[in-house]
Amino acid sequence: MRQTFILIAFFLATLTLAAQSNYTPCYTNNMSKGNTAFSQGKYSEARTYYATAKQCAGGNPTEAQKKIAACDAKIKARKEAAEAKKRAEQEAAEAKKRAEEEARKKEEEKMASIMSGIEDDIVMEPEEEFVHEEFVEDVSTYEEDVSDPVYYAEEMPEFPGGQEAMQAFIQKELVYPVVALNYGIQGTVLVRFVVERDGSISDVTPVVSLFEVCDQEAIRVVKAMPKWKPGKNYGKNIRVYLQIPITFRINYPSSAGSKRKRK
């Protein structure tokens, strides 16, 4: 009986080898190329070879179909992994952006609180001529400044003559843009700038915008300011961020008088 089983097994193996030896070069070549590409992780390329082998006459389409299914599983898994990685990167980027935005808002709220003492409306047509004395300080002994500006200093920067003098300067310099005046546009531009170590103004930008020409006029007025008394930490001049509101309000005269206009 044992010898009979051995003979049957040998016979079946012989039939299998004979069947495989009858596979056409079309089938065997494409299956071989598919196996090579699959081992290299080139699953799409391997799938193409297996699909071609499946179409070849004189081959084993069932074996080729199994290889195609294996390729499809690998391609699907790779795609899902790539999508999961992309989602994770997007979520991380969004979380970082939200954190940065929250930090920026906190800084602006802190600065707005510091500068709340100068938030009076700025009106056109001052009653009297403003004259200021420009702050001048010897900067020959300053070291080269490579530090970033700060939002708060032990001694905050000061406009020559104080806040009232600054408001008078803005009243004197500010000109209502004619376009904004014609459209009846009113409101406040919140301008941020840096008071440098020598008291000069730099990096002027609107952080709360009103209207393009109003923003430009507010920037022009800030840039026209005289040198400030610079901020200090531990007795040393430092660069400091400041924010000031510049309000555009139309005062409709009851009788005589007209506002200055700027095109």
Cα 135 from Cα 168, distance rounded (Å): 16
Instruction: Name the least confident of 59-63, 70-74, 113-117, 177-181.
Output: 113-117
Domains 9-117 and 119-136+147-262 agree in fold: no
Question: What's the mean per-residue pLDDT of the chain?
Answer: 81
Minimum mean pLDDT range among 53-67, 139-153, 235-249: 139-153
Q: For residue 252, name the pLDDT band (cuts at 50, 70, 90).
A: confident
* Torsion angle (degrees, nearest 10) of CA 224, 226, 232, 238: 50
- Asked if residue 237 lies in contact with residue 230, where contact means CB atoms within 8 angstroms, the answer is yes
pLDDT tens for each residue of 57-76: 778 889 989 999 999 999 99
* This model's pTM is above 0.75: no
- At residue 23, does pLDDT exceed 90? no
Residue 165 has pLDDT above 90, yes or no: yes
Q: What confidence score (pLDDT) does residue 103 get?
A: 78
Q: Where are the domains of the chain?
A: 9-117, 119-136+147-262
Question: Looking at 28-42, 121-135, 195-209, which range is the least confident one?
Answer: 121-135
Give the right CATH number for 119-136+147-262 from 3.30.2420.10, 3.30.110.60, 1.10.3720.10, 3.40.50.12780.
Answer: 3.30.2420.10
Residue 153, pLDDT above cutoff 70: yes
| Cα–Cα distance measured from residue 240 to residue 154, given in angstroms and rounded to the nearest whole number | 11
> What was the pLDDT predicted at 101?
83
Class of domain 9-117 as given by CATH: mainly alpha
Quick one: pLDDT band at residue 192, thresholds 50, 70, 90? Answer: very high
What's the pLDDT band for 5 if we cut at 50, 70, 90?
low
Q: Which amino acid is at 187?
A: G
- pLDDT at 145 > cutoff 60: no
Give the list of residues 6+ apart from residue 169 with CB closer than 8 angstroms, or none: 130, 132, 159, 225, 226
Distances from the Cα of 104 to the Cα of 38, 83, 122, 146, 181, angstroms? 51, 31, 27, 22, 32
Grade residue 163 by pLDDT with cuts at 50, 70 and 90.
very high
With bands split at pLDDT 50, 70 and 90, how would you rate the model's confidence at 110? low
Statement: residue 115 has pLDDT above 70 = no
Q: pLDDT band at 122, cuts 50/70/90?
A: very low
- Could you tell me the pLDDT band of residue 30, with boundaries at 50, 70 and 90? very high
Question: Residue written as tokens 């044992």?
Answer: 2
Closest by alpha carbon to 126, among 262, 244, 263, 257?
A: 257
In angstroms, rounded to a whole number, what is the distance separating the alpha carbons of residues 262 and 125?
Answer: 14
CB atoms within 10 A of CB 23: 18
Residues 158-181, mean pLDDT to the nearest whole number: 94
